[in-house]
């Protein structure tokens, strides 16, 4: 694969942590683990275990929505490596990758025909789902929103539901096919979307905000001083 553009894909926006190195669109090597937390500790060893320690001409990173910490870990690593390697750095949407992965599933795994529209639902925390609809070409047909399960069910119309909240959403839409998925860097070539800037797409506000600094209170003046 000498002379081929090498791409390193990094995905840390969800409970899964994965990396994949490509020559063109051909997978060279990868690593994937569903870890829940601890992406910061796992990511660098994963990259270093790839051939050439993952060195690439281009870096693609999942920019979310998803875990605030996971998104930050992935984007920070991607930007640092791009600077060190003088590489291009771009992002991709978490929900777009899940839609593309669902579309690539074997036809026998779902009732609607291949190429059907897909709704993606990912767990967003606080009882909500990140939700977005996609066309049969896996292009987004709506904006990403964060909704209650009932709110997502009210606007969901596709026969295929994908994501780690798909099974839960299917309970409110029983005549659908649910494909439970987490994004995987190995599926990066399936994306139909144009690359995005490597900036976080949080959608929801952070679960915790930094504490405001305590006000500075001047010491009382001593008697007789001015």
Is the pLDDT at 225 greater than 70? The verdict is no
> What's the pLDDT tens digit per position in 43-73?
999 999 999 999 999 999 999 999 999 999 9
Angstrom CA distances, 62 to 139, 157, 178, 216, stand at 17, 26, 23, 41
In the chain, where the domains are located? 6-93+183-190, 95-179
From residue 145, give the alpha-carbon distance in Å to each of 33, 93, 215.
27, 13, 37
95-179 and 6-93+183-190 share a CATH fold: yes
Per-residue model confidence (pLDDT) at position 1 = 58
Contact 43, 10 (CB under 8 A): yes
Chain mean pLDDT for the chain? 88
Other CB atoms within 10 Å distance of the CB of residue 62: 30
Supply 203's token pair. Answer: 């959608």
The predicted model gives 182-188 an average pLDDT of 98
pLDDT of residue 224 exceeding 60: no
- Proportion of the chain above pLDDT 90, given as a percent: 80
Q: What is the mean pLDDT of residues 113-119?
A: 75
> Cis peptide before 65, with omega less than 30 degrees from 0?
yes
Other Cβ atoms within 10 Å of 3 Cβ, number: 6
Fold classification of 95-179 (topology level)? Nucleotidyltransferase; domain 5 (3.30.420)
Of the listed ranges 47-56, 117-126, 209-218, the one predicted with least confidence: 209-218
Residues 58-115 have pLDDT tens digits of 999 999 999 999 999 999 999 999 999 999 999 999 999 999 999 998 454 445 555 5
For the chain, how many helices (H) and strands (E)? 5, 10
Residue 165: pLDDT band (50, 70, 90) is very high
Fold for the domain defined by 6-93+183-190: Nucleotidyltransferase; domain 5 (3.30.420)
Helices 68-85 and 39-48, packing angle to 10 deg: 30
pLDDT tens column, 18-35: 999 999 999 999 999 999
Candidates 185, 190, 199, 184; CA nearest to 56 is 185
């Amino acid at each position: 694969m000498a002379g081929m553009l090498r791409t390193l894909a990094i995905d840390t926006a969800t409970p899964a942590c994965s990396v994949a190195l490509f020559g063109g669109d051909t997978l060279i090597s990868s690593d994937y683990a569903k870890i829940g937390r601890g992406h910061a500790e796992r990511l660098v060893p994963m990259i270093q275990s790839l051939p050439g320690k993952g060195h690439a001409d281009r870096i693609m990173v999942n920019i979310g929505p998803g875990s605030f910490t996971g998104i930050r870990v992935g984007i920070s690593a991607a930007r640092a490596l791009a600077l060190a390697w003088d590489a291009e750095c771009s992002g991709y949407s978490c929900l777009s990758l899940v839609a593309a992965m669902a579309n690539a599933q074997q036809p026998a795994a779902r009732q609607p025909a291949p190429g059907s529209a897909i709704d993606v639902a990912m767990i967003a925390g606080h009882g909500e789902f990140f939700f977005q609809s996609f066309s049969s070409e896996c292009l987004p047909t709506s904006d990403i929103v964060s909704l209650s399960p009932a709110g997502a069910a009210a606007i969901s119309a596709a026969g295929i539901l994908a994501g780690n909240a798909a099974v839960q959403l299917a309970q409110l839409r029983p005549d659908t096919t649910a494909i439970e998925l987490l994004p995987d860097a190995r599926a990066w070539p399936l994306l139909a979307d144009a690359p995005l800037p490597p900036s976080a797409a949080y959608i929801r506000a952070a679960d915790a905000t930094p504490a405001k600094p305590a006000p500075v209170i001047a010491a009382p003046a001593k008697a007789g001083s001015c």
